Amino acid sequence: ETGVTQSPTHLIKTRGQQVTLRCSSQSGHNTVSWYQQALGQGPQFIFQYYREEENGRGNFPPRFSGLQFPNYSSELNVNALELDDSALYLCASSLVRGSDSPLHFGNGTRLTVT
Amino acid sequence: AQSVTQLGSHVSVSEGALVLLRCNYSSSVPPYLFWYVQYPNQGLQLLLKYTSAATLVKGINGFEAEFKKSETSFHLTKPSAHMSDAAEYFCAVSEGAAGNKLTFGGGTRVLVKP
């Protein structure tokens, strides 16, 4: 079975620009979550999608938005990029929407905002 | 609100020595607790999880963790460190009613000396 894949692996953007990050969930998984991991810190929950609808959101502004597609792949969009958005963005999928359902993480997209 | 505190951002152990990584949590509901490992330039891999069954949880790669409700702790141990254990370790707690959104600690980087 294929794992969680993210693209691109690295990205450099300029402050004020917009960026789209992509994620393919592990086969059979219908829930996807996105996390932001700043350098030297633990990941922070951005939001989760279940059956194409947002199902929980962390403390991130509206310029962070997402989509989940019928094939359960997902996108994270960030508008009006700020320097502090520089981080590793992790996508994670799981089989069911449950508290004890383990997440399977991708290797992340490293975003640098200059 | 939930929170996780990992005591010690860096731990150095000799090969063959005990590995002990500390994690304390705060939760208003019965917690679901996890330990993840992150190798350089990779995503997070689940080591083990506690979901209200046995308080001593065994995971992959010889790691285990003990849930102590009275101490609100979930410390991770491995009897004998191996060079391949060098990585960053994250403790996380999941909210019971809100799906599998994870709140992570700040992480502990483990260095293994030969």
Residue B51's pLDDT is 78
Find chain B residues with C-beta within 8 A of A100's C-beta. 32, 49, 51, 94, 100
Q: What is the DSSP letter of A70?
A: T
Left if phi > 0, otherwise alpha if psi is -120 to 50, otherwise beta: which for B107? left
**A104 three-class SS:** strand
CA distances to A65, A107, A112, B22 from A32, rounded to whole Å, are 13, 14, 23, 29
Residue among A42, A100, A106 whose CB faces B104 most closely: A42
Across the interface, which of A90, A94, A102 has its CB nearest the CB of B43? A90
Report the alpha-carbon distance of residue A5 to residue B69 in Å, rounded.
37
Q: Which residue has the higher pLDDT, B42 or A75?
A: A75
3-state SS of chain B is: CCEEEEECCEEEEECCCCEEEEEEEECCCCCEEEEEEECCCCCEEEEEEECCCCCEEECHHHCEEEEECCCCEEEEEECCCCHHHCEEEEEEEECCCCCCCEEECCCEEEEEEC
The secondary structure of residue A59, as a DSSP letter, is S
Between A6 and B55, the higher pLDDT residue:
A6
pLDDT digits (tens, 9 = 90+) for B7-66: 999 999 999 999 999 999 998 777 888 999 999 888 899 999 887 778 899 999 999 999
Report the candidate in A34, A39, A9 with the shortest Cα–Cα distance to residue A91: A34
pLDDT band at A98 (very low <50, low <70, confident <90, very high): low
Q: Is B50 on the interface with A (CB under 8 A)?
A: no
pLDDT of residue B97: 42
Interface residue B46 vs chain A (CB under 8 A):
yes
- pLDDT mean over B82-95: 93
pLDDT of B98 over the 50 cut:
no
**Which tens digits make up the pLDDT trace of A8-62?**
999 999 999 999 999 999 888 888 999 999 999 999 999 999 889 998 899 999 9
Which residue from B36, B99, B105 is facing A97, i.e. has the nearest CB?
B99
Which residues are bridge partners to B103 per DSSP?
Answer: B93
Mean pLDDT rounded to a whole number for chain A: 91
Task: Identify the residue with better confidence: B98 or A40.
Answer: A40
